[in-house]
Amino acid sequence: MAMQLKKIVPHLWYDTEAKEAAEFYVSIFPGSKINKITTIHDTPSGDCDIVRFELSGNPFMAISAGPEFKFNESVSFIVSCDTQDEIDYYTEKLTANGGEQGPCGWVKDKFGLSWQVDASALQQMLENGTEEQKNRVTNAFLKMKKLDLSAIEKAYKG
C-alpha cells in the first residue's frame, strides 16, 4: 500500500546524512518513527537515500543528495516546551555531538539544522502581557542562550 503524503511536508536536504539525521531526530522526539527509507542508485550525486519519517506525529522527508545545499538560519523548527525540564532536554539533545547553542533558545544540531527551543509560557506572555511586561520579558530572554523559564516569569511579574 502506498503511503499518502500530507499536503505540506518539510523536506530536508543533506549531503550524505539523511538516514543518520532521521534516526537522530526520531531518538529525541516522543511519538516519532521512520516510515520508509528508499535508496536510488546511480544519481548525479551517487546513491541517494530518501527517508520518510515523523517527529511527534508531524511528517518529514529527508534526502541525501550531495553537498550543493546547506542549512542556514532562515529556516528553523520550533520546539514548544511547557517546562524547564523540557527546555533543558531538547537543548541538550539537539546540541549533542557537535551542535551548538545560539541566542534566545536557538540551537543548531550537528547537521547544521536550526531549531528554536521555545517556552509556550513565553509566547503567552508576549501575546497577552502589557507593553511593559512584554518589554521586560523581551529584554530578559534576549540576554539568554538556553531559555530560563523562571527568569522569564520573574521579568514578566516585574
Q: Where are the domains of the chain?
A: 8-68, 71-158
CA-wise closest residue to 64 among 121, 31, 18: 18
Between residues 43 and 83, the one the model is more confident about: 83
pLDDT tens sequence across 137-150: 999 999 999 999 99
Q: Do domains 8-68 and 71-158 have the same CATH topology?
A: yes
Q: What is the pLDDT of residue 2?
A: 53
Q: Which of 126, 118, 28 is nearest to 78 (CA)?
A: 118
Q: For residue 1, what pLDDT is reported?
A: 45
Q: Which of 103, 85, 95, 86 is nearest to 142 (CA)?
A: 103
Backbone angles phi, psi at 88, to 5 degrees: -60, -45
Q: What is the mean pLDDT of residues 29-55?
A: 91
**Statement: residue 37 has pLDDT above 70:** yes
Looking at domain 71-158, its CATH architecture is: Roll (3.10)
Q: What is the model's pLDDT at position 110?
A: 98
The pLDDT confidence band at residue 35, using thresholds 50, 70 and 90, is very high
Q: Do 18 and 38 meet the contact criterion of CB atoms below 8 Å apart?
A: no
Question: Does residue 6 surpass a pLDDT of 80?
Answer: no
Contact call for residues 11 and 18 (beta carbons, < 8 A)? no
In CATH, what class is 8-68? alpha beta
